[in-house]
Amino acid sequence: MNVSRTARERVRAELIREITDIARRHLATEGASGLSLRAVARDMGMVSSAIYRYFPSRDDLLTALIIDGYNALGEAVEDADAACPREDVTGRWLAVCRAVREWALAHPHEYALLYGSPVPGYRAPLDTVAPAIRDTAVYGRIVADAHREGRLSPPAFCPPPPAVLAGDAEVVRTLMPDVPDDVVTRAIAAWTCLFGMVSFELFGQFENTITHRAELFDHNMTCMAALLGLPV
Amino acid sequence: MNVSRTARERVRAELIREITDIARRHLATEGASGLSLRAVARDMGMVSSAIYRYFPSRDDLLTALIIDGYNALGEAVEDADAACPREDVTGRWLAVCRAVREWALAHPHEYALLYGSPVPGYRAPLDTVAPAIRDTAVYGRIVADAHREGRLSPPAFCPPPPAVLAGDAEVVRTLMPDVPDDVVTRAIAAWTCLFGMVSFELFGQFENTITHRAELFDHNMTCMAALLGLPV
DNA sequence: CTTCGTCAAGAGCGGTGCTCTCGGATTTTT
DNA sequence: AAAAATCCGAGAGCACCGCTCTTGACGAAG
């Protein structure tokens, strides 16, 4: 009965994969709010109600796409990091930045789903948090490596972080062990600046202003590396 | 005939104002995608088709809300800047940062409309660009003032921006006259970091991680001031 | 062979943006 | 003052949406 059950399960898993694939294609062309179960069903030659056998609601389909998106971005970031020599911490940081930007440019609607305005009424389930920090985990490893190997010399012009942030820094340190508080806050600043740049570019804030976006991005991320204390 | 014409025009203008007010209320409670012309019409005791006499499409209503939002944020930023002594450039920068964050926290859905994922299929008309840069214009004035009065001493650890960015810097300089290229790129970095922080906080990226958000925000914006070369 | 769970299909509910037409009111012109 | 042009609200209607419920077919399990 195990084999027969897996027979049914297999076709079911196959259909789920096909639904998410088509949904991702729709997402790429129409955006999150244009994702319609009926359209997906139409593309599959199914009747719309049949989709509900596999995804109980539109939000559940969205959750699947969000998890896939986080994993895709996380994998891109992991690959970019792995392609660098481990001791070249600045190169790894820049590679991660570029990987985020390039993945976002290649999948704008998926990026918007992950880092743009939250979908109203949608509450991200807990299954999303693990994939959501794959990229951040890579980043934390880079900072931790740089710190452990003594390659981190943060410039002294920043005031020390207030003591009240120590608790939050403790939480962040689970991703970048042993890193001191002031480096933690700068790491957050650099990370938010990275996503701020990508979001500005993708969401149209650079329209009619910035034309050489890759160059500006690289330069600003290099400045952020310097702010972090990485050798530039 | 002028007075009679304005009679009609006046009730028309009044209705337009009432529609946008109700729409803004709906936007605040349901978000952009929950904004429905029929619901607005229902709230006004009107029939849905009547709304189209005043806004030819949902996108036009959205445009009105976007323009209002940019103006509200711009005004908040202008007020915050004006409340500071003109020579306290660092204080003005911090006041602007806090004004952006506080306005965003008070009007999350409007902020999402302005700086979040673009509404698919929606193309912002040209009327939005002037209100859209009110806040940036204030920022530019602060940087320009600081530079003109010799209060800007950018730390030397950043590499100079590549020459290819000179053209873009020229465009940005319309908002911050006479500022050198390297300060322009840092100014962009600080500005994107500001909105990156606000977006991260508002869009849920700090969930389960950062609890003292105002303190982290202030500290990071102070670091950005230092990066810019403002006295800290 | 019968029972039971799974599934596709269809009808239907209430909602959406948007269009069109039809009268009535108002304004403008003659 | 009468006639013409304009504006406007109401209603019906189209095609779409998410979602629910029922029905009937099919295959696996006892």
Contact B85, B67 (CB under 8 A): no
**Which residue from B33, B158, B168 is facing A33, i.e. has the nearest CB?**
B33
pLDDT tens track for B172-221: 999 999 999 999 999 999 999 999 999 999 999 999 999 999 999 999 99
Token match 């949608």: residue? A122
pLDDT tens track for B138-174: 999 999 999 999 999 989 889 999 999 999 999 999 9
pLDDT of residue B77: 98
Q: Is residue A33 scored above 90 in pLDDT?
A: no
**Which residue from A124, A157, A212 is facing B164, i.e. has the nearest CB?**
A212
- Which DSSP state fits B203? T
pLDDT tens track for B74-130: 999 999 999 999 999 999 999 999 999 999 999 999 999 999 998 877 888 899 999
A174, burial (CB in 10 Å: exposed 0-12, middle 13-18, buried 19+): exposed
Strand D at less than 7 A from CB of A8: yes
Q: How far apart are CA A108 and CA B114, in angstroms?
A: 17
Token match 């969000």: residue? A66
- Which nucleotide C1' is nearest B37 CA? C17
Strand D at less than 7 A from CB of A39: yes
Q: How far apart are CA B232 and CA B184, in angstroms?
A: 19
Residue type, B3: V
Measured in degrees and rounded to the nearest 5, phi and psi for residue A15 equal -65, -40
A230, burial (CB in 10 Å: exposed 0-12, middle 13-18, buried 19+): buried
Q: How far is the CA of B51 from the C1' of D11 (A)?
A: 14
pLDDT of residue B5: 56
**pLDDT band for position B2 (50/70/90)?**
very low
- Which nucleotide C1' is nearest A3 CA? D28
